[in-house]
Structure 1
Amino acid sequence: MTLRLPRALPTLRTVTGRFVLSPFGAGDIQALAHILANDDIWATGFGDGHRRPLTHDETVRFISRRHEGLRIFAVHYTGLPGGPLLIGTTGVTETHAPTERVKIGRTIISPAFWGMKANLEVKLALLDWVFSHGAGRVECDVDPRNHRSISSLRRFGFIVEGTRRRSSQRIDGSWRDIVVLSLLTEEWSATRARAVRALAELHVAPLTL
């Protein structure tokens, strides 16, 4: 199956309906900047080695630079009476059609939703989309300090392929290693079934796909 990932992003609803993924826009930046004020996010190597912004305005500019030209979804939680709440982002950062390779990233989930299987559910929706458009291999690059993300991806079904040593230089001049994980289209059916079973433990009825 040929990789044909559209540039225009759709709106995706997760299997339980708790979350909606929609194209990230300028109207989402302020809310995301408030999420990025949390120290716990930066403690795991977030930012690709760039200096942490010191002010809200710097964070807004940081987000704009990091998302420019990429296929990024805004993730909203639907379970509040006041309307959907932005809780983070995820998306596609790189594609290579001849090898059917897709790299996903820019994933941020508000710490208020850690432990709720939010990342599992959001990643399921994102991967449903990329595999349905011909992805043969999905990659993730993760900072070695981000043990939470690596553990989560491994539980999901991603395979750790190794560490790309001295991968990129941080703003302070030091060098950064990267853990490389992947998931193949041949593995997706079984991986997806396990993810759906894990979400069923929440006792939230999945929507019909």
Structure 2
Amino acid sequence: MPAATPVPTVLEGGRVRLEPLTPAHLPDLFAAGGGDDEVWRWLPHRTPRTEDELGVLAGQLLADAGRGLCVPFAVVDRTTGRAVGWTAYLEVVEEDERLEIGWTWYGRAVWRTAVNTESKLLLLTHAFEDLGYGRVQWKTHHRNERSRAAIARLGAVQEGVLRRHRRYPDGSWRDSVYFSMLADEWPAAKARLAARLARG
């Protein structure tokens, strides 16, 4: 049997809540990371300087969701009730039981907090345990050391590099570093992530 198709849903944790992304999240999202070049440095889009520019990017993501190409989530910090970033399921292939977690960014105020750890714990639990996927993958810019380290800390395995994979707005090229986690690796990774969250 193929894995189940992901659909918009709410994933609730202790620190964060992942909920379907909507235009109503834009004011919070722009306040969290709009105009911040460091937040957008490694993403394949120019830094949005206005809420409208961020709305264009969100609109593209939501249009892709409408075509069944992704399932985007707003990441809401439960301590404030405000959205601090977004993330998505992408590249979903039910027959092969694989999907990607990506298009992720967070405002700088929540970097090095439990937000990313718990967000990934929620997404991975849902993918492996609720939807029945056998492989979850990530890809990131070869020069984005912070992202590469964060993915590795989840327990993902670096698989390889696609060279000259994507052109960026400034004309430069990204090599994409691929990571994955398989269903049989998930129990140990889940235990480590839960222990990390428990330590605060």
How far, CA to CA, are the matches of 2:96 and 2:27 in structure 1?
A: 37
How far, CA to CA, are the matches of 1:12 and 1:58 in structure 2?
A: 27
Q: SS of the residue aligned with 1:98? A: coil
Identify which of 14, 19, 37 aligns with 1:39.
37
- Residue 54 of structure 1 deviates from its aligned partner by 4.2
- Residue 56 of structure 1 deviates from its aligned partner by 3.4
Contact map agreement 2:166 2:174 (CA 8 A) in 1: yes
Structure 1 residue ranges (4+ consecutive) displaced by more than 6 angstroms after TM superposition: none
Alignment of 1:10 onto 2:9: yes
Q: Which segments of 5 or more consecutive residues in structure 2 lack a partner in the other structure?
A: none
- Residue 66 of structure 1 deviates from its aligned partner by 3.3
How far, CA to CA, are the matches of 1:169 and 1:88 in structure 2?
A: 24
Contact map agreement 1:140 1:182 (CA 8 A) in 2: yes
How far, CA to CA, are the matches of 2:76 and 2:48 in structure 1?
A: 24
How far, CA to CA, are the matches of 1:72 and 1:59 in structure 2?
A: 15
Contact map agreement 1:30 1:60 (CA 8 A) in 2: no
How far, CA to CA, are the matches of 2:6 and 2:154 in structure 1?
A: 25
Q: Which segments of 5 or more consecutive residues in structure 1 lack a partner in the other structure?
A: 203-209
Higher relative contact order (CA 8 A, sep 6+): 1
- Residue 87 of structure 1 deviates from its aligned partner by 1.0
Q: SS of the residue aligned with 1:171? A: coil
How far, CA to CA, are the matches of 2:72 and 2:137 in structure 1?
A: 16
How far, CA to CA, are the matches of 1:113 and 1:131 in structure 2?
A: 26
**Change in CA separation of 1:74 and 1:53 when aligned onto 2, cut-off 3 Å:** closer
Contact map agreement 2:11 2:19 (CA 8 A) in 1: yes
Instruction: Tell me which amino acid in the other structure corresponds to 1:117.
Output: A
- Residue 39 of structure 1 deviates from its aligned partner by 2.1
Identity among equivalent positions (%) equals 34
TM-score by length of 2: 0.89
**What residue in structure 2 maps to residue 125 of structure 1?**
122
TM-score by length of 1: 0.86
Q: SS of the residue aligned with 1:134? A: coil
- Residue 141 of structure 1 deviates from its aligned partner by 1.0
Alignment of 1:25 onto 2:22: yes
Tell me the C-alpha RMSD between the 2 structures.
1.6
Alignment of 1:57 onto 2:55: no
How far, CA to CA, are the matches of 1:109 and 1:53 in structure 2?
A: 14
Contact map agreement 1:33 1:63 (CA 8 A) in 2: no
Identify which of 49, 61, 67 aligns with 1:66.
61
Instruction: Tell me which amino acid in the other structure corresponds to 1:86.
Output: A
- Residue 173 of structure 1 deviates from its aligned partner by 3.7
Instruction: Tell me which amino acid in the other structure corresponds to 2:137.
Output: E
Alignment of 1:75 onto 2:70: no
How far, CA to CA, are the matches of 2:55 and 2:2 in structure 1?
A: 36
